[in-house]
Structure 1
Amino acid sequence: MILWNIGTLIAFSFVALYTYLGYKGMFQSQILLPEFLLQRLSITTVGDPTAPAPPPKAVIRQLDHYPIAEIERLKKKLFDILEHKKLYRNDTLSLTELSETMGISNKKLSELLNQHIKINFYNLINNYRMAEVIERMGALDSDKYTLVGIAYECGFQSKASFNRIFKQKTGVSPSKYKKELELKTGHTIRTPA
């Protein structure tokens, strides 16, 4: 007489399931797809090989129906906000926060940046931050500040991200750029102790 308990039944169930999946898996890759998807796949893949592929679905963008003048107005508003309010100095600035300031949705702002200005949000913000860092490094009173201090005031969150982005944008490290700038201008920029 065999005593069956729940553990034995579960073990046999797993062995049966693994055996079934292993057997089916050797012969088809769509084992866990629902039947209606398998039928749709077989309809589209079987047939005339010379038949044209179905047309790609059109991507509907939110700014597609905006007139060019309105898109240009949004671009001008974006650049005015960044240049005058200097929101990029906020080290936690997000796409949503910037879109709220502009009075549009974050999807519209993202589309404006990616499709019409050809830049993503982070590159745009880092470009503004870098421009201000370089401007401040060249200022006459720059010897009062450390490089990291300037970077933090311009919106960088950490020394590591500042160094990485600076080298990515200029091709040299901040310290090397600083030395070259000191040779050109004759004034020094403090480095952190």
Structure 2
Amino acid sequence: MSSNIVWHEASIGKEERREKNNHQSFILWFTGLSASGKSSIANSLARALFERGNQSFVLDGDNIRHGLNKDLGFDEDSRKENIRRIGEVSKLFVESGQIVLTAFISPYQEDRDVVRSLVAEGEFIEVYVKCSVEECERRDPKGLYKKARNEEIKNFTGISAPYEAPVNPEIVVDSEQFTIEECTEQLIEFLTSKNYIK
């Protein structure tokens, strides 16, 4: 890092923004296999939060790779850099007083822990969207599992690349057993019970 770069303090602090928004700001980090339902649940929750008057935004793995991270591949180093960048962007959302919902496979526990370390205690909520690889492969909405099985896609999580399920997530939603709406309600109940939202 250049010695000519100096941090400039903001005129409006995180706590002021939270007070104005009337809710806490934090990261809801959705992790799980491809086709587990991360994006669907995150967007359903974002809608529920919006209707309750909460300021939130969804960062989706595929969408981010259309812009900010379009220069990254899917090898291990690129995946780590993908998550590092999203972690830094998510931190900015927390500082802005908003709730950020991130839907990324983020297969490595170490990378998710790095993002957790960027924010204060209680500002990172790891949401494990639990769904077996068999069910995800049965769903296969984008046809990716089929391509991975045919070796058209290399380093595909759950098939030819590892997925490390969270060791101690704040909450688990089982998308194999529950609908998107039921998972959303479970998350609302969790956030309300922990006083993240009112």
* TM-score, normalized by the shorter chain, greater than 0.5: no
Superposition TM-score, scaled by structure 1 size: 0.26
User: 1 or 2, which has the higher strand percentage?
Assistant: 2
Rg comparison, structure with higher value: 1
Q: Which has the higher contact order (CA 8 A, sep 6+)?
A: 2
Superposition TM-score, scaled by structure 2 size: 0.26
